[in-house]
Amino acid sequence: MLISIIFGYADDTQMYISMPATDIPSTVPHLVQCIDDVSELMARNRSKMNTEKTQLIWLGTSQQLRKVSVTELTLPSGLIQFVNSVTNLGLHIDSELTMLPHIDSVCRTGFFQLRQLRTVRGSLTTECAQTMVHSLISSRVDYCNSLLFGISAERIKLSDCSPFRMQRRVWCQEHANLTASRLYCRTCHGYL
């Protein structure tokens, strides 16, 4: 039995079809028909499906994914390849739902923002630096973090790529700068 669910957002349409891995070759025509129906519905509403931006992904365990032989769909509007990772409302999802692409993305953007903050750190007060870290880094860490529940720390290696460590590094650097400036003031002007 196939279950088809379609979600529509402002400029994003998502379709989910549940099927056993062994039934995939026989259900591909149903999948193509569903995509054609969505495309036809969009055309009736003066919209068009962009096949260049259309992403298809198989979700399942590694054992189930090994049974999948279909790697592309041929639609009237073009050929679409299945991919191993997709982006859905800012969340990066991989075929086995390990969340590793999302974690890598959060770490990459967090470290980028931290490097950008480092260039202006001397011009910011402690409170302003903490606000910047919270707004630029913590918000990205917090976004969709409930989906990471149950993933082991060994699997995602948080010790190698922890945005929380980035925050601590900024605060430790600020504390070191503040301590150094207090020591400088003490040596030049006596104790404050």
DSSP code string of 99-139: -HHHHHHHHHHHHHHHHHHHHHGGGS-HHHHHHHHIIIIIH
**Range of the structural domain that residue 80 is part of:** 3-88
pLDDT at res. 186: 37
Given this model, what pLDDT does residue 51 score?
78
Q: Is residue 93 part of a domain?
A: no
Which pTM was predicted?
Answer: 0.67
- Among residues 40, 70, 88, the one where a domain terminates is 88
**What local confidence, expressed as pLDDT, does residue 157 receive?**
56
**pLDDT computed for residue 184 by the predictor:** 36
Is residue 23 domain-resident? yes
Q: Residue 112 has what pLDDT?
A: 87
Question: What single string gives the DSSP state of each residue in 43-96?
Answer: HHTT----TTT--B---S-HHHHHT----EEEETTEEEEB-SEEEETTEEEETT
Last-in-domain residue among 88, 106, 124: 88
Same structural domain, 13 and 67: yes
Residues 71 and 130 in one domain: no
pLDDT of residue 177: 46
Residues of the chain with pLDDT under 50: 158-159, 162-164, 166-168, 170-192
Question: Shortest CA distance to 95 belongs to which of 124, 64, 121?
Answer: 64
